[in-house]
Amino acid sequence: MGWKTLDEMDFAGKTALVRVDINVPFENGQVSDFTRIDAVLPTIRDISAAGGKVVLMAHFGRPKGQPNPEMSLAQVRPALEARLGQPVAFAEDCIGGPAKKAVGAMEPGDVLLLENTRFHAGEEKNDPMMAASLAALGNVYVNDAFSAAHRAHASTEGIAKLLPSCAGRLMAAELQALDAALGNPQRPVVAVVGGAKVSTKLDLLSNLITKVDALVIGGGMANTFLAAQGKDVGKSLCEHDLAETARAIIAKAEEIGCRLVLPVDLVVAREFKAHAPHEVVTDCPPDAMILDAGPASVAQIIDIFKGSRTLIWNGPLGAFELEPFDTATNAAAKAAAELTRDGTLVSVAGGGDTVAALNRAGAAGDFTYISTAGGAFLEWMEGKVLPGVAALEA
């Protein structure tokens, strides 16, 4: 790993510019989920305890380069103060006079939140002047926003080239977990890729078959592969136009020795709704739709988990939001959690639907690491360079 951590930096008397992701959901004017705020507290506290001045940079919503009161980070400040347990000052701009004045008023250990970086068009354009204006506010740059690391923005990439830089606690934990999963994993490695469409995960599948020993395909994606093999999928969600692509992936996996695992039995129904009448079949009737993998498929997946040392998971195995079509996802997730608890499996999962599915299954807490970074996690799984990470390694 070519990047530094907080432990390798001297923060005493320094002003640390810390990129965080506190783009949190709101309901009735209140923060409704504190996950992202809580995740960055260790970095803030450690820098503050080391005698550093903590200046937080973040985006909120999509203001498209223009100030927008509805997307002001001022409304996140009370929740940040409450979770942190100390006052947080606020600057009405992230660069220029208001920012300089607010930073100038800080004492060692203080915390300051700058206004939304995306109120300036230069942020998303990675404008060198914007990066320089941010860098002028401090002495050290800390990136603790892995979820924004796939964006080459002024506050994630440009600034890292101008100041001594390191990864925050959250970023470091994420990068270590990902390295353990794909960079330098314990083998055999199995990946579970589910979700609705093959078209959204072509890069992911193409990269994974070169990196893992077994690839389990579930959800609507599996239907496309089954259809490509000449099997009837009835009225199921299926991208028939990608049959040739699916066959090419199957052939490539066979050529390089990656075991491609598709459902061997199916749970089908005539309606897409919770508790719809359903049955387990090996061939989908023409008037039915596949909504989950069957028990034999689940047994096969769990058996593969038991023979593996590392698991990477992205996407559910069925229509997990509808009972009982969450059965396969829940059973596989609980098995992975149990193997992780027993110390025989390193399990890393990520992606919005994945996190929701693992939480529903009550398995999330036992996974080795769960990434809340949607786009960045997916691009990492696709084998793409993440600008925010690459800039720390420079």
What are the residue numbers of the active site?
Answer: 36, 197, 352, 375
Q: How far apart are CA 252 and CA 258, in angstroms?
A: 8
In sequence order, the β-bridge partners of residue 293 are 266
- Burial of 29: CB neighbours in 10 Å, binned 0-12, 13-18, 19+: exposed
Phi, psi of 344 (to 5 degrees): -100, -10
Per-residue exposure over 212-239, b if at least 16 CB sit within 10 Å of its own CB, e if not? bbbbbbbbbbbbbbbbbeeeebbebbbb
Q: Is 186 left (phi over 0), alpha (psi -120 to 50) or beta?
A: beta
Distance, CA of 141 to chain centre: 22
- Burial of 158: CB neighbours in 10 Å, binned 0-12, 13-18, 19+: buried
Nearby residues of 124 by Cβ (< 8 Å), 6 or more positions away: 65, 118, 151, 153
CA dihedral 23, 25, 27, 29 (to 10 degrees): -10
278-281 and 266-269 beta bridge pairing: antiparallel
Q: How far apart are CA 222 and CA 239, in angstroms?
A: 10
Q: What is the CA radius of gyration of the chain?
A: 23
Q: How far apart are CA 250 and CA 259, in angstroms?
A: 9
- Quick one: tokens of 100? 């300089």
- Quick one: tokens of 190? 């199995």
Q: How far apart are CA 342 and CA 345, in angstroms?
A: 8
Q: How far apart are CA 168 and CA 248, in angstroms?
A: 41
Task: Judge whether 166 and 9 are in contact, CB under 8 Å.
Answer: yes
Query: Where do we find the tokens 């640390």?
Result: 16
Nearby residues of 295 by Cβ (< 8 Å), 6 or more positions away: 265, 280
Q: How far apart are CA 379 and CA 57, in angstroms?
A: 23
